[in-house]
Amino acid sequence: MSATSQIWIDGVSAESLPLPDRGLEFGDGLFETLLSMHGQVPLLESHFERLKQGLHRLGFPDCAERARQCLQAALPALSNSAFTAIRLTVTRGSGPRGYVPPDPCEPRIIISSTDVARNAAVPLPQLSVVPAPLALANQPALAGIKHLNRLEQVLAARHARAEGADDALMLNERGEPVCMASSNLFAVVAGTILTPPLATAGIAGTRRRALIERWAPDLGLAVEERFFSLGTLNVASEVFCSNSLVGLRPVGQFGSRTWSSHPVMAALFERYRAELPA
């Protein structure tokens, strides 16, 4: 643990997780990755709405309010850091051996922070992207929510790193793009922003949601949530991605296709930046 990391479990400063824990045993839990700017978290409500959906989908008791209190209690400790990545993890806690969850169960809330050594309000350089070595499985029961079963993303990210790329493009079983390993995906085609649906695979990102609901409409930009082919990326005038720590980030290269200019993303980034805490 670096000197700039801190961990709290159920509101108490901690360095280790009591065992057993179903988060470790089965990935039985959820998480949120939040950006803190001097202890203020952009799109906090959107994060908690997704968390609540995940708790409901997995059959957890609704502990979102307790998670929020744990987060609020941790934020003052981060107020001296300009930019901090916060991970809020909720597991189904301890239980007897086996897959059957305890009933009632007592979810465990784990918060960890890591300083971000860059200005998160400034766009990052263009990403280079390679195809992931595996397709995302079709699993409507788990799609959209940010659960702890992330081996698909781990294998894709590992491959990208081995290839010297920044991220991996993940396709579904039909060969359609869904997302990057660590972000949501957007392609600008004939002036319209396309982004794949997330009802069967992928994570419904908070920045993706804000782009669809507010940022693009505010700028008069059309957004369509639909699948498109891999070939569509070649004809896209720009490709970019989103997540909570980078906001929006341009894709500069995928295979032999390169993009050098991202005017739509640049306009959206300004809109994004306008919502960040001062």
Binding footprint of a copy of itself on the chain (CB under 8 A) = 1, 5, 7, 14-28, 31, 58-59, 85, 87, 89, 91, 94, 96-101, 103, 110, 112, 114, 133-134, 137-142, 147-158, 160-161, 173, 181-182
Smallest distance, a copy of itself to C-beta of residue 154, A: 5
Strands 127-131 and 167-171: parallel
Interacting residues of 218 by C-beta distance below 8 A, sequence separation 6+: 271
Smallest distance, a copy of itself to C-beta of residue 227, A: 18
In this complex, which beta carbon is closest to a copy of itself, that of residue 19 or of residue 274?
Answer: 19
In this complex, which beta carbon is closest to a copy of itself, that of residue 114 or of residue 232?
Answer: 114
Smallest distance, a copy of itself to C-beta of residue 56, A: 12
Burial of residue 200 (number of CB atoms within 10 Å: 0-12, 13-18, 19+): buried
Smallest distance, a copy of itself to C-beta of residue 267, A: 28
234 backbone φψ class: left, alpha, beta (φ>0; ψ -120 to 50): alpha
In this complex, which beta carbon is closest to a copy of itself, that of residue 77 or of residue 221?
Answer: 77
42 backbone dihedrals φ, ψ, rounded to 5°: -65, 145
Burial of residue 159 (number of CB atoms within 10 Å: 0-12, 13-18, 19+): middle
Smallest distance, a copy of itself to C-beta of residue 38, A: 19
Q: Rounded distance, CA 205 to CA 241, Å?
A: 10
Q: Rounded distance, CA 221 to CA 195, Å?
A: 13
In this complex, which beta carbon is closest to a copy of itself, that of residue 174 or of residue 214?
Answer: 174
Q: Is 64 helix (H, G, I), strand (E, B) or coil?
A: helix
Smallest distance, a copy of itself to C-beta of residue 1, A: 7
Bond preceding residue 18 cis, omega within 30 of 0: no
In this complex, which beta carbon is closest to a copy of itself, that of residue 161 or of residue 209?
Answer: 161
In this complex, which beta carbon is closest to a copy of itself, that of residue 143 or of residue 216?
Answer: 143
Interacting residues of 137 by C-beta distance below 8 A, sequence separation 6+: 152, 173, 201
Smallest distance, a copy of itself to C-beta of residue 8, A: 11
In this complex, which beta carbon is closest to a copy of itself, that of residue 18 or of residue 263?
Answer: 18
